[in-house]
Amino acid sequence: MDPAAPVSSQPLPTAQLDSATPQITATTADGAADGVAPLTKSALKKLEKEKALAAKKALKQAANAGKKPAQAAEGVKKEKKEKAKKEDAQPEESPYVEVPEGHKKDLSNPMAAGYNPTDVERDWYSWWRQHQFFVPAVPSSSPSEYSHFDPEPNFLPRDEKGEAQLDWDAIDPKKTFVIPAPPPNVTGSLHIGHALAFGLQDTLIRWHRMRGYTTLFVPGYDHAGISTQSVVEKRLAKLEGLSRHDLGREKFLERCMAWKEEYQSRITNQICRLGVSCDWDRVAFTMNPQLSKAVAETFVRLHDDGIIYRANRLVNWCVAMNTTLSNLEVDQKVITGRTLLSVPGYDPKDKVEFGVITSFAYPLEGSDEKIVIATTRPETLLGDTAIAVHPDDERYKHLHGKFAIHPFLGRRIPIITDAIAVDKEFGTGAVKMTPAHDPNDYEVGMRHKLEFINILNDDGTLNANAGPEFEGLKRFHARKKVIEEMKKKGLYVGDAENPMSIPVCAKSGDVIESVMKPQWWVSCKTLAAKAIEARPGSSRFLPPRRTKAGELKIKPAQSEGDWYRWLEGIQDWCISRQLWWGHRAPAYFVKIEGQEQQDRLSGEYWVT
């Protein structure tokens, strides 16, 4: 042991280093050896380090022990004075010199010791914009080492409105590079994904600009119809306790526009701070008059070509927002069994039960026999127009072509056979059909020409088709009442837990209802067929870049199968929404004087 180290009062084991071999011998106080173990290089280094630290500590303790308290305090004061003196001797950092808006930074001033990105990048960006470095220009025929622009850049001219007057003779189409920025939604701030996308796009723009191309990066903003309206409505309800209907259409649109201005300004500032080289004289907003006119013209042209059409079909209906939704705006909430969930429009304490399949019996016409069906949505029983069984199911062959009687409305329910919709091994093998409120039942209804009975109002209450006993009830209150009344009639069989997925609105969180509504649709199958066909040709809206003709290549090659499966299985797209914020469809229903009955579902009386 090092003589300078403190001595323990207890006889502790000691470690002795063998100088001949890298090993350590452990001995006790009486000197008896416990054993010899080989010492690794790392262990040897660690031991030497510990030994040095112990010696240093012992020396310091011995030095402090010999000093008087007053001397020790004096030593501390001396150290502090020396430290302060050293700090005072450091040169004072030069303050950042503010640069006037649009002026170039004076590089002759002393440079600050630290980099201040906020001030430096703001001032450089301001100078870039002032000198129109982001505006498309005809490049120099002999670009310099530092810039492809001439000393007096030949920027593309603009008229008094600031719109560019393109001189196509001065521009080489092969040396032109343009990116219209995918417009971010005006519903919040940019996130890291936006920063990555803008960074990649601006890299391409700047690279082409340096190569001598006429470049243009067009900034833009998306009005984001359903997203913006949803956010503004929630804010209105939370802060003022009002709905859009309380304000009226015009006042509500003013609120939406104010929101848009606030968040567009915020997003613009973020893009500028990223240093993105956009031409800010060409800012686009999807609801600007010019773009709104282009949307209307495109709608009319596509309608004239038969690509946009009107039809009464099953749609995703959000009761909370009172609008149709596309499949992309619907999330699937998966539950594994009996679950109580809060639903918008209901008291938070009034939770709705999901994940349960309930069985009922339908009485058969002219017989004491009953047929048992099961459903996860008992309220839709009020819109049933058929019961389907498998044609090969022996249990029901004697019922083919017979009728059941609706337990509440008394209407005759035909018993049909369908091998596509019915799995005879699942449940009772009998399936209730509500074509107006279920996608699978809708297909069965189309195949068998069933009656489509809509039982829901737009606000989620039941209408007159549900019968006087249920009319006016909220949909999930009607669910409870249907079960109660079926129990009273002796037609309730039972229920069981059932894993299921619930369609939920991505914006409001409301449970989506499948409802029959006349809407405007895009014939996607027509467009998909043109995208994959091998024969040459073109249309106004789709250039002849056919996949099978080899004009459009899918990379990586293994994704080509997914491309074809997606296009060949594509469904028509519902493009109409019942919103106030957004583009209005330029379509009008013509009422003819003297004609009392005009079918609004038919396209005969609609003009665009």
Q: How far is CA 512 from CA 320, 340, 343, 462, in A?
A: 9, 16, 11, 15
- pLDDT reported for residue 544: 41
- pLDDT reported for residue 555: 83
Q: CA–CA separation, 276 vs 264, rounded Å?
A: 16
- pLDDT reported for residue 263: 92
| Structural domains counted in the chain | 3
Whether residue 211 is found in the same domain as residue 130: yes
- pLDDT reported for residue 605: 84
CA torsion 468-474-480-485 (nearest 10°) is: 0
Asked if residue 368 is part of any domain, the answer here is: yes
Residue corresponding to tokens 């001797």:
89
- pLDDT reported for residue 1: 43
Task: Give the CATH number, domain containing residue 378.
Answer: 3.90.740.10
Q: Find out whether 589 and 595 touch, Cβ atoms under 8 Å.
A: no
Asked if residue 270 is part of any domain, the answer here is: yes
pTM assigned to the model: 0.74
Asked if residue 165 is part of any domain, the answer here is: yes
- pLDDT reported for residue 298: 95
Whether residue 397 is found in the same domain as residue 467: yes
Whether residue 530 is found in the same domain as residue 489: no
Mean pLDDT by 10 residues, the chain (608 residues): 42 40 43 53 81 82 63 63 64 69 77 79 87 77 52 56 60 86 89 94 93 89 92 91 92 94 93 93 90 94 92 93 91 94 91 94 93 94 95 93 94 94 88 94 94 95 95 95 95 93 93 94 88 52 52 80 86 92 92 82 81
Whether residue 550 is found in the same domain as residue 418: no
Which of 208, 262, 210, 209 minimizes the C-alpha distance to 231?
262
Which of 274, 341, 331 minimizes the C-alpha distance to 118?
274
Whether residue 482 is found in the same domain as residue 523: no
Whether residue 174 is found in the same domain as residue 279: yes
Q: How far is CA 429 from CA 315, 365, 389, 393, 483, in A?
A: 28, 19, 6, 8, 21
Whether residue 463 is found in the same domain as residue 584: no
- pLDDT reported for residue 76: 59
Which of 138, 134, 141, 107 minimizes the C-alpha distance to 123?
107
Q: CA–CA separation, 143 vs 150, rounded Å?
A: 7
- pLDDT reported for residue 91: 58
Whether residue 276 is found in the same domain as residue 127: yes
Q: CA–CA separation, 607 vs 418, rounded Å?
A: 39
Task: Give the CATH number, domain containing residue 144.
Answer: 3.40.50.620
Which of 148, 221, 157 minimizes the C-alpha distance to 184?
221
- pLDDT reported for residue 539: 42
- pLDDT reported for residue 564: 84
Whether residue 304 is found in the same domain as residue 226: no
Helices (H), 180-224: 192-210
Asked if residue 282 is part of any domain, the answer here is: yes
Q: How far is CA 115 from CA 19, 48, 92, 273, 397, in A?
A: 55, 43, 16, 15, 85
Question: Residue 478 is part of which domain span?
Answer: 356-498
